[in-house]
Structure formats: structure tokens, C-alpha cells
Structure 1
Amino acid sequence: MSYEITGKLIVRFDIVQRNENFKTREFVIEKTEDANGRSFTNFVKFQCVQDKTAMPDKFNIGDEVKVQFNIKGTKWEKDGRANYITNLDAWRMESVKLSQNNGNSGEVNYNDIPPSDNVDDLPF
């Protein structure tokens, strides 16, 4: 299952080479929401892996971005005790300005539909 969130890019961490074949990178977006006259700010940290580690480089700190991600969870045991970790694995990032300018709002503008050559094209 995939999720998405929009916010301001505030931190880009360095790429970490975990082993010979695996690298990760983290970044953080700031998401502010208003509810009942109060403003709430959350800081959401994402992880990119492998070929996606260069993805945050396309954006400047302070840019509004939309992040698409998956939630991944891992369990491991140490000394007889279970430990859990949850990662938000980002797999796509885009500028909010670009997605707004592309007109991908899902709305149809009927003025953009070309007129029919046949004026009387009703089936009844």
C-alpha cells in the first residue's frame, strides 16, 4: 500500500553506505496543519534506498514537495527481547508547484474539449 504527504523539505542527510551492496539516505519534511484554530507542526523523516538516494538532491531546502512512500516494519530479537523498527520508504518525490502547473487536479475543464463537427449528434 502506498501513501503520500505534502510538506516543506527541511533536512537532507548524507548517503550512508550500509554494506557493499546497500545504501540509504534520510530526509525530513515539515508538515503543518490547522485544526480548530490551532496549528500543529509535524516533522516526518523518510528513508530512500539504493537508486532512490539521489532523489532529494533535485529539490532545495524549503521547497514544497509531495512524497510518495511505503511503510515498512522490521522485527528482530536480541537477548530474548523483541525489537521493532518502522521506516517510511520514499520512492517518489515531486515539486508541489510542478504538479499544480501540470493541471493534474483530476478535474475536467469542458472548455478544453473541442466542439463536435456534427451539431445534431444526439442518439434520440
Structure 2
Amino acid sequence: MALELVGKLIKVLPEVTGQGKNGAWNKQEFVIETLDTQFPKKVCMTVWGEKANDLKQFAEGDTLKATFSAESREYNERWYTELRAFRLELAEGGDTSYAAPARPAQQARPVSQSQPAGTPFNTSFDDESNDLPF
């Protein structure tokens, strides 16, 4: 499952290296802030191996498109989630003036007028509100 996120690169964390049974490994984490103007979110992602070198070509403030996979695993009855980026590229235009595509505004669901607020859910005022398919 491939997911995409477009945002501004706001922080590159130090590279971490180690030695495992399969040889040397390295990973680097970075933080992207989404371009949603009303409620921007910060997301920490990880690149492994040679992809850590790809991250070095970008500077803080660049607008990136990260293609990633999400995976969770359990350890000692706790769950840990990793967002592993496998493709990093400059977003369209490659500068911070890039705007995310407009999403349709969420419409509020209409409030049912069949029951006043504070009335128990099993109280019915008319036969139409008791319109169950079975």
C-alpha cells in the first residue's frame, strides 16, 4: 500500500547507523509539515539505506512529495508505527509556494428534527422516525 504526503520539510534529524546480523544499516528521520492551511500537521517519517542519501539533496523549507508505506508492530504489548518513505521528490514547482489541491469542504450532517436534544434514543415521536428495514 503506497501513500503520498505533500508538505514542507521542516527538520532533518541525525542519521542513525548500526550493525545487524545482515550487515551495516543506516536510517534517517525527517519531519514534514502538511500544507493544510487551517490545521497543518507535522509528520515524522523514516528513510532507510541508500534513501537516506536521497534526503541530503533537499534543504529545510523545500516542499516535498513523499511516497511511503505505514507499518505497525508490537513489542511488549505496545504498538509502534513507522512511516517508511521510499520515494522523495520535489513537489510540483519545487518551492514553498506550492498549494495542495483543494479538497471539497466537509458538509455538516443535518441534525434530525424527529427528536429534541436530551431525549433518549429509543423514544419515538412519529411512525416515520421508526423506519427500520427489518
TM over 0.5: yes
Q: Which residue of 2 aligns with 1:90?
A: 85
Aligned to 1:9: 9
Which one has the bigger helix percentage?
A: 1
TM-score by length of 1: 0.67
Contact kept, 8 Å, 1:18 with 1:24, in 2: the verdict is no
Contact 2:6-2:35 at 8 Å conserved across structures: no
Q: CA RMSD in A?
A: 1.4
| Structure 1 unaligned residues grouped into runs of 5+ | 99-124
- The residue number in structure 2 matching 1:58 is 57
Higher strand share: 1
Deviations 1:95-120 (A, max 9, x none): 1125xxxxxxxxxxxxxxxxxxxxxx
Matched residue pairs, number? 90
Which is greater in Rg?
A: 2
Q: What TM-score, normalized to structure 2?
A: 0.63
SS of equivalent residue, structure 1 residue 53? helix
Q: One-letter code of the match for 2:82?
A: N
Alignment of 1:18-97 (within 5 A): 18-20=18-20, 21-34=24-37, 39-77=38-76, 82-96=77-91, 97=93
Q: Where has structure 1 moved over 3 Å in runs of 4 or more? A: none
Same amino acid, percent of matched pairs: 28
Provide the rounded CA distance (Å) in 1 between the counterparts of 2:30 and 2:59.
Answer: 12
Q: Is contact 1:9-1:60 (8 Å) kept? A: yes
Higher relative contact order (CA 8 A, sep 6+): 1
| Counterpart in the other structure of 2:112 | none
